Amino acid sequence: MTKDPTHLSDDAAGLMAEVGEVVAAQADVHFTDDRLERQRAHILERLEHEARHGRVISFPAAPTHAPASRTRPRVRWVAVAAAAGLLIGFLSEHVAHRARPVQPSAIAAVDTGAETLQLVAAPLSEEEFLGRMEMAVEGTAGSALRPLDDLTPRVWEVAAQ
């Protein structure tokens, strides 16, 4: 017969029982009957609290697609708003582009374009051309350039000399 390693003599068994009592007393000295009573009350409170919370969740009885339908209109609304914004932006840009007032310089360019064609057809003399240029410059240039203009010798004056 093999010897059981945990088999103890009566003396040793008594000693171990004594050790067991001390180990138990280390916890028992802190956990009195009152404290255990309070602990039990806390445990039952927690269970009751968790049960109350559990009632709020109606899974799996509730239809699973209900929350999805609640969020979907919001998503759809945002998508529609974004598309509408894009369309409005595009249209307003288009309208603004068409309604933009034509620059006077552009009209002049068109008008002078006809004259340019005319000039090509019937070329002006050099003096006449420069005179027209001078008139055009005088018409569009600001008064700030007038002193500079006064200092500049005229072409026909130079040609006459």
Partner 1 sequence: MSRTTSRRTIASAAAVPPAPAAPVVARDSALAAEIKALVLAGRRDAARERFAELVAAHQRRATRIAYQYLRDVHDVDEAVQDAFVKVFSHITSYREELPFDVWFTRILVNGCLDLRKSRSRRLRWVLPTPADSTPPEPVAPQPSPEERLLASERGRRIAAAVEQLPERQRMVFTLCQVAEQTTSEVSQALGLREATVRVHLFRAVRKLRVLLERER
Binding positions for partner 1, rule: CB under 8 A: 4-8, 10, 12-32, 34-36, 39-40, 42-44, 46-48, 50-51
Cβ-based nearer residue to partner 1, 47 or 159: 47
Cβ-based nearer residue to partner 1, 24 or 145: 24
CB of 64 to partner 1, least distance (A): 21
* CA separation for the pair 98, 40 (Å, rounded): 82
Q: Quick one: how far is CA 103 from the chain centroid?
A: 38
| Pair 124, 132: CB distance under 8 Å | yes
* CA separation for the pair 126, 137 (Å, rounded): 16
Q: Is 36 helix (H, G, I), strand (E, B) or coil?
A: helix
CB of 70 to partner 1, least distance (A): 28
Which residue reads 């209900």 in tokens?
66
CB of 56 to partner 1, least distance (A): 14
Region class of 4: left (phi > 0), else alpha (psi between -120 and 50), else beta: beta
Q: Which of 152, 81, 156 is nearest to 126 (CA)?
A: 156
Cβ-based nearer residue to partner 1, 55 or 98: 55
CB of 40 to partner 1, least distance (A): 5
CB of 55 to partner 1, least distance (A): 10
Cβ-based nearer residue to partner 1, 21 or 127: 21
Cβ-based nearer residue to partner 1, 32 or 112: 32
